[in-house]
Chain A
Amino acid sequence: DADVTQTPRNRITKTGKRIMLECSQTKGHDRMYWYRQDPGLGLRLIYYSFDVKDINKGEISDGYSVSRQAQAKFSLSLESAIPNQTALYFCATSDPPGQSNTGELFFGEGSRLTVL
């Protein structure tokens, strides 16, 4: 089983619908992230969480919200989806930076969202 699991892997929805993407991890990491990938733009950070009580906005948080239900679970919601939110979404985890941990991210396999 994958260390970082995302569901659903693919989703097609309509404009205005509420969508939730879920992420769970078995790596025991405190830090979790949601990224969006668009062709030619690389990955951009949407939200991140350093523990259950800590939620922070990233570079492109408008139109998104998150919930950290437990150390191992971090969900991304689109309250009212719009077509320009069509993208590949990645969840990632990391350990805090330290002597042996230097900010490396561990990614899920991605959730492809299409908003019509």
Chain B
Amino acid sequence: AQSVTQLGSHVSVSEGALVLLRCNYSSSVPPYLFWYVQYPNQGLQLLLKYTSAATLVKGINGFEAEFKKSETSFHLTKPSAHMSDAAEYFCAVTRSGSARQLTFGSGTQLTVLP
């Protein structure tokens, strides 16, 4: 079985501040991990993914995430928040790279304050 926990359903940061969105996973086998972003009235789009290559993964829009096996974490960060980053973010895990086995976290709504 696999699961994903996103700590904090709502996160607020000031524009220019560090963004940190937390994701912890459980998986009985080496996982593939994803972060998706959902802007208002839109579908989800892939931000970045970990597929057992480099542990530090860089994605679009300046986001990155680090896979830490010892902590079973895959936290999403961005050094400096922009107003356009306001969205809902979902962490997801699958084993064997199969999309049908994707398990999504409950999501974190990011608000960026001016």
Determine whether the beta carbon of A102 is less than 8 Å from that of B106. no
Determine whether the beta carbon of A97 is less than 8 Å from that of B99. yes
Q: Which of B13-21, B66-74, B78-86, B90-98 contacts its partner?
A: B90-98
Determine whether the beta carbon of B94 is less than 8 Å from that of A103. yes
Complex: A105 Cα to B9 Cα, angstroms: 23
B107 and chain A: residue at smallest CB distance: A42
Interface residues on A, range: 20 to 34
Q: Does chain A have a CB within 8 A of B46?
A: yes
Binary per-residue interface labels of chain A (77-105) against chain B in the complex, 1 for a CB within 8 Å, 0 otherwise: 00000000000001010100110011111
Determine whether the beta carbon of B34 is less than 8 Å from that of A104. yes
Determine whether the beta carbon of B9 is less than 8 Å from that of A40. yes
Q: Which of A12-20, A61-69, A107-115 contacts its partner?
A: A107-115
Determine whether the beta carbon of A101 is less than 8 Å from that of B97. yes
Please give the number of chain B residues whose Cβ is less than 8 angstroms from any Cβ of chain A in the complex: 25
B100 and chain A: residue at smallest CB distance: A48
B94 and chain A: residue at smallest CB distance: A103
Q: Which of B13-54 contact A (CB under 8 A)?
A: 32, 34, 36, 41-46, 49, 51
Shortest CB distance B95–A (Å): 9
Complex: A30 Cα to B46 Cα, angstroms: 19
Residues from chain B with a CB closer than 8 A to the CB of A92 are 43-44, 99
Q: Does chain A have a CB within 8 A of B63?
A: no
With A42-B90, A42-B104 known to touch, is A104 a contact of B44 (CB < 8 Å)? no
Shortest CB distance A54–B (Å): 11
Shortest CB distance A89–B (Å): 11
Determine whether the beta carbon of B97 is less than 8 Å from that of A42. no
Shortest CB distance B29–A (Å): 14
Determine whether the beta carbon of A110 is less than 8 Å from that of B106. no
**Chain B positions near chain A (C-beta within 8 angstroms):** 9, 32, 34, 36, 41-46, 49, 51, 90, 94, 96-102, 104-107
